Copies of this chain bind each other. A is one copy, B any other.
Amino acid sequence: MVRVAALDRAAANELSFFANPRYAAEFAATGAGITLVSPDLAEHPGPACRIVVAKPQEAMLLVLPALYPPPPRATGIHPSAVIGAGAKLGKDVAIGAHSIIGENAVLGDRVVIGPLCDVGRDVEIGEDSHLVSAVTLYPGTTLGMRVRLHAGVRAGSDGFGYVATRTGVQKIPHVGRCILEHDVEVGANSTIDRGSIADTVIGAGSKLDNLVMIAHNVRLGRMCLIAAQSGIAGSTRLGDGCMIGGQVGVTGHLELGNNVKLGAGSGVMDDIPDGQMWSGAPARPQREWLKATSAFYKLADRLREIERQLNEKKS
């Protein structure tokens, strides 16, 4: 085996996996040399050379590093990079072409800054963190260790805060911090604002997908997952282990507990206790939403039938 490949394009020297019955046809016709198959699908017709394993995807993870050695780590500081006065670079820091490190920024050992990044003054970046490409860190942004920011991430920007005064709309200065703790990963073109007075904090181990928006003063707990295009409005707090689907919106000044789950597309306007799953817009507990949604699409017919019966009785 020299590579992994999806069932429908795998060749005899490639490894594939089959963990979802939706792909039964692809499995039956696959040219893969070896296929990892989950136990419940073990009897499906398909190639003989299969390895039945509890979690094929997880098993594949163990194999990938052997088949795909990571590219050699970037090293050195590109001559086009601009390093500000007083910046402190740890051991084996790499800085890509046309990147800028602001005054008094502190980069830990083995930090990799890709090309075209703007690291503002007074930024702190923990060991082994990686800014992939074209990332902007506003002044004073603080990253823990092993943080990974994908292309186009903007962290530490001013929050959207204005007060209406007698003379018009006045901007609220943003003097809080923007803190991403250890092992946070943020997807392409996502934005995380700094705090106004309090801090914006993304808890350790949390993962954000692409085009996610985190507003000023939001506090995310540890190990939260937020799917693409979701947004958390100002000053809302999430506990640990929350799982947020795609295109979710959570309004400001709410408290979501630990291990809260939100269905894709939800619009949350209320506090949510620990461990609950909510969906819908406005969002409600999952069972309540399922019941209402299911009724919704039968609504017109049921109402008409009821009104017909009532009229019948009248006449």
Give A residues with C-beta under 8 Å from B: 3-6, 8-9, 16-17, 20, 22, 55, 57-58, 60-61, 64-65, 67-68, 71, 78, 80, 82, 96-98, 100, 114-116, 118, 121, 132-134, 136, 138-139, 150-152, 154, 157-158, 160, 162-163, 165, 168-173, 175-176, 185, 187-189, 191, 193, 195, 197-199, 205, 207, 209-211, 213, 215, 217, 223, 225, 227-229, 231, 233, 246-247, 249, 251, 253, 264-265, 267, 269, 281-282, 284, 288, 291-297, 299-300, 302-303, 306-307, 309-310, 313
Contact A213 B211 (CB under 8 A): yes
Contact between chains at A78 and B82 (CB < 8 Å): yes
> Whole-angstrom distance between the alpha carbons of A249 and B293 in the complex?
17
Q: Are A228 and B160 in contact (CB under 8 A)?
A: yes
Provide the bound-state CA to CA distance between A90 and B115, in Å: 24
For A251, the chain B residues whose CB sits under 8 A away are 246, 264
Q: Would A157 and B291 count as touching, CB distance under 8 A? A: no
9 extra interchain contacts, Cβ-Cβ under 8 A, other than A6-B197, A213-B228? A57-B163, A71-B139, A98-B100, A150-B157, A169-B225, A231-B246, A247-B267, A292-B297, A306-B310
Report the separation of the CA atoms of residues A96 and B300 in the bound assembly, to the nearest whole angstrom: 59
Find out whether the CB atom of A116 lies under 8 angstroms from the CB atom of B100: yes
Residue in contact with A57 in the complex, picked from B115, B172, B175, B187, CB distance below 8 Å: B172
Q: A197-B6, A225-B169, A291-B300 are in contact. Are A247 and B246 (CB under 8 A)?
A: no
Shortest A72–chain B CB gap in Å is 11
Of the residues B17, B229, B282, contact of A213 by C-beta under 8 Å? B229
Task: Name the one of B157, B158, B300, B307 contacting A294, with C-beta atoms under 8 angstroms.
Answer: B300
Copies of this protein chain in the complex = 3
Q: Is the CB–CB distance between A191 and B210 below 8 Å?
A: yes
CB distance from A94 to the nearest CB of B (A): 14
Chain B hits for A281, CB < 8 A: 265, 281
CB distance from A256 to the nearest CB of B (A): 14
Kindly state the separation between the CA atoms of A200 and B4 in the bound complex, as whole angstroms. Answer: 15
CB A52 to nearest CB in B, in angstroms, measures 18
- 10 A–B contacts, CB within 8 A, in A order: A4-B197, A132-B138, A136-B151, A157-B188, A160-B207, A160-B228, A189-B189, A215-B228, A228-B233, A299-B299
Per the bound structure, the CA–CA distance linking A67 and B246 in Å amounts to 40
With A58-B165, A191-B189, A295-B299 already in contact, the answer to whether A68 and B310 are too (CB < 8 A) is no
Contact present for B116 and A118 (CB under 8 Å): yes
Cβ–Cβ < 8 Å partners of A100 in chain B: 96-98, 115-116
Inter-subunit contact B121/A118 (CB<8 Å): no
Q: Which 6 A-B pairs have the closest CB atoms?
A: A6-B198, A136-B151, A295-B300, A154-B188, A160-B209, A265-B267
